Structures are given as C-alpha cells and as structure tokens.
Amino acid sequence: MKIDKQKIENSFSKLGEDTKGHIDWIIFIPVVGLLLFSLVFVYSASAPISAEKFEDVGTLFSKHLVRVFLGLITLIVFSKIDYHIYEKLARPIFFVSIAMLVGVLIFGETINGAKRWLEIGPINFQPVEFAKFAMVIYFAYLLTQKQKVIKTFADGFFPFIIWTAIICLLIALQPNFSNLVLIFIIAMTMLFIGNANLLYLIPTVGVGGIFAVLYAVSAQYRIDRIVSFFNLGDISPSVTGYQSQQALIALGNGGVFGLGPGQGRQNHLFLPESYGDFIFSIIGEEYGFVGLVIIFIAFGVIFLRSMLVAKKAPDNFGYFLAIGIVITFALYLVVNAAVNTGLVPTTGVPLPFISYGGTAILIYSAVAGILLNISAQANIYPLETNKK
C-alpha cells in the first residue's frame, strides 16, 4: 500500500480542530482516575520491597509517578490526533511491531529464561505491549478494506491467519505463553466481529487451541504451573503455586472492607510482584471487596461507553478499532483478576492502567487517547445543540 503523505499531513494539521471541546468525560474520568489511584496502590504495594532492594521506600513509586505523569500527557495528546491517521499508517506500524519482536529475540536481555525486554538507549520496554495494539490497528484496517471478500478464504480469511501466526510464533519464541494466547483470542474475536466465515474461523480456533495445549506442556515450568494450579497445598516458595496462595491470602485478609490503606501484610515480601501482576490482590487486601468492585465499575463504565463509541463511529475503521481496543482492555482485566483469584494458572498479565510498568502505562494511555478521539468524532454528545 502506498502511503499518502498529504493525507497524513492533513491529519496532523487537524489536531484539536475536529475534536475541539469534545472530551468524552465518561471515558476520560475513569481512565484518569485509574491512573491516579494507581499511584496510591503502587506506593503501598511497593514500599516494603523498595526498602529491601533500594533502601528507600519511594524508589519504585517515584518511577511509577513519572510514568503516570507521562501517561496522562500521552492520553491527552493522542486524544487530539485524528484516528484516521492510523488507517494510513496501519501497515508500517504493524511491520515495526514485528521488527521489534524479532529484535527482542536477537538483542533482548534474558531474564528468568525469557527474552521479553528490548533496550534502546535509556528506554527499556516490552515489544509485545506495542505489538498487540499494532495488530488491533492493522486488523481494523484490513477488516475495513476486505469487507466485500471477508467471507472468502484466499483473499479474505487467509491473510489474517498468516499475520496472526507470525505474531504468535515470535511471541512463543520469547517465550511468553500468556500473551500468545491472549493475542490469538483478540485476533479471532476481531475476525468474528468482522464477519469472517465461521467455516474457516471455528476450525482455526480449534487448531489454535491444540497448538496452545502442546505449547503449554512443552516446557517443564509451564507443566509445573498447571500441576500447581490443581494442587496448591504446598505453600513453599519453591512451588509455582506460591504466588497464587499468597494472593488468595491477601484477598482473604481484606474481606469486605479491607484492612485500610497502607495496612496490607502480603506486600511485606510475602507476595512477589505485589506491585505488578498481583497488585489486584493488594488492592483487595487494603480496600476489600468494596474496593475491587469500584475498580470493576470504573472499567465497566469504560467498556460500556466504548461499545457505544464503536456503534456510533463514523466509519468501519473507527468501529473495528474501538472494538479491538475494548476487547483488549476487557480481556487483560479479566485474566489478571482470574490469576489473582486462583481461577486460572499463574501467568504474567498486568492490570491495565494500574500495575507498575512503564511500557504498559504509556501504551494503554495512548490507546485510550485513540478511543477518546474516535468518540469525539462519533457524534454521541446529547447536550450539543449544533449536531452534524
């Protein structure tokens, strides 16, 4: 596809023009609220570990504070960029994400037997966080372009499967089982919503599930996680189910109303990743079931409003892009909650907008900004008097 430079320049020239005064507060406020409250959550969850590692309770919090500040700026900036620019840049964005996934396999640092982090100068990030949304953008573009042939195999369905397979293979080589499965689910869900032929889609999902099972049992540590998931009796730190046990203890300690801010116990070196993938449990311990319900309400508002944004989007690309974004948000929230409550085996999936981590905070903020821009052009503001 030839990139139309003039159209791209026109998109940037319209920054703030088409969307002037159009802030979807129903999405904006919950997103900003989650980012700001993550400061409180991360400080409480990370202070004991930060004191142990750095002899300063605020070291990890300070890094998170900077990332949240940058995330808020990113959210606002991306909300002012006409989302149609991503339709023009979908292919290059996707190919850059593939290059990053290849780069992390070649140049990435090996941590705990996996290559997931790519370091470019002072920047250290996980390419998979960028890749999953790059795929959402590219698939939204392809679905828009291929609606007339989407029911066919060669021209409609096959290209999606090839690109999904390439992304999943590169992620499998890291290895990163959780993101591999989740990205496959996102791809298949977008194809389903995009009216792909079920005669091709259902067998593909079945074959993907078989490969996922074979991949899961291809490494001893993944087998250990599955075994420990069904038998969490041994609480020894050497057992893979240790994190799940400690997370459940934290949730049990919190009860309905929680122990109170800063009064958590499991973050005192009992629960690894208490400020990252398992921050959900620390929130439950300190703010109780009520606190977690409020978190889910905030996400629920984002999801419901995003579905309306998708429905009212001015074109197919906006519709598919908004749907892909909200699917990703929802899936990662549900899986993180399921891991913390012991409903699925332990896996590394951050809680969107809340877990400590630079890459995820910035990427999620940028994508939320894109969602806000789609909303700004979707004409769903009932209080406006001058409607298009």
Residue-wise pLDDT for 309-339, tens only, equals 999 999 999 999 999 999 999 999 999 999 9
Pair 209, 201: CB distance under 8 Å: no
Q: What is the mean pLDDT of residues 6-23?
A: 51
pLDDT over 50 at 279, yes or no: yes
Residue-wise pLDDT for 116-171, tens only, equals 888 876 678 889 999 999 999 999 999 999 999 999 999 999 999 999 999 999 99
- Model pTM above 0.85: yes
- What is the pLDDT at residue 55? 82
267 or 111: which leads in pLDDT: 267
- What is the pLDDT at residue 327? 96
- What is the pLDDT at residue 6? 54
Token duo for residue 58: 């605020």
Residue-wise pLDDT for 24-46, tens only, equals 999 999 999 999 999 999 999 99
- What is the pLDDT at residue 298? 97
Which residues sit opposite 117 in a β-bridge?
A: 109
pLDDT over 80 at 20, yes or no: no
Pair 85, 13: CB distance under 8 Å: no
Residue-wise pLDDT for 168-186, tens only, equals 999 999 989 999 999 999 9
Walk across the sheet containing 114-120 and list its strands.
109-111, 114-120, 123-125
- What is the pLDDT at residue 196? 96
Rounded to the nearest 10 degrees, what angle do helices 84-107 and 127-145 cross at?
Answer: 140
